[in-house]
Amino acid sequence: MRHDQFGQRLDQLQQALSRGLAYYTVWKNLRLHDPTKVSWSLEEQNEVLGRFRGFFTPVSLALLDMTLMEFAKVFDKDPKTASLTSLLEAARDDTTLIPHASIGDVDKVSAQLGQSERILTGLKRMRDQQLAHIYVKPVAVGPIRNTEFDKLVEDVKSAFNFLSTAHDGRAVSWEYGLQTTDRHTTEILRLLVEEIKRRQNQHDEEMVRIGLEAIRSQQTHLGRRLDNGEFRSIKQSYGLTDEQMQLVEQQYGASSPGPG
């Protein structure tokens, strides 16, 4: 392999890894909750994913599949492919391709990459098990372990940067390119959390209005204030929640649990 061909395949591999990292970044933001990073609770995030599950479920599955597919390319043993495996083997056969490193360095990276390949195989097996069980019992198999995936990601990035630096002295700053992907995914979740809250507040306000109108109408009909039993009857009749009924009572001027 010529020096320029080696560089071209590194560029191709970088593009594949960049896609895989972007897919993984979006997937992690959707499926995991980091209280140090976002202002909403895990329950609120789950509510968003559940409310729009017709979109987020297939998107999450597709993102995971595409992430696994892109990272699988890293370990392709075909010498004609742009993979870490094939490029490391080419560097071992011709050290002029990596003037800034030694054969010993290549062996160390190859050994670490072998462990990473086993992690990927395990993750793919877990993914296949999840897919097999999803139609029977959605919670039958646990989720993909992101700690293992994170280790795989770091090992692959490190191996690529080793080859790139050894070849022409250039290392890739992966994080810079992923900041926009991470920020936009988080922003979409934030907007959806706020929209669900807005809709819930709007619904609560409408139910409180309906409850107040029902109480005032019945009070006018009876010619007196309602007792506790009549308050509970209205709450049940209109399906008011405890929180909505508290708002009704506050606006009505009665103290909880209702007038005596």
Say if residue 185's pLDDT is above 80: yes
205 Cβ neighbours under 8 A, 6+ residues apart: none
135 pLDDT higher than 60: no
How far apart are the C-alpha atoms of 220 and 188, rounded to whole Å?
Answer: 48
pLDDT tens digits, 91-105: 999 999 999 999 999
Of all residues in the chain, what percent carry a pLDDT higher than 70? 91
pTM: 0.80
Give the pLDDT score at 140. Answer: 33
Rounded mean pLDDT, 211-219: 89
Report pLDDT digits (tens) over 224-255: 888 888 888 999 999 999 999 888 888 887 44
DSSP state for residue 99 in the 8-state scheme? T
Q: Higher pLDDT residue, 147 or 183?
A: 183
Is the pLDDT at 139 greater than 90, yes or no? Answer: no
CATH fold for the domain made of 3-172 = Four Helix Bundle (Hemerythrin (Met), subunit A) (1.20.120)
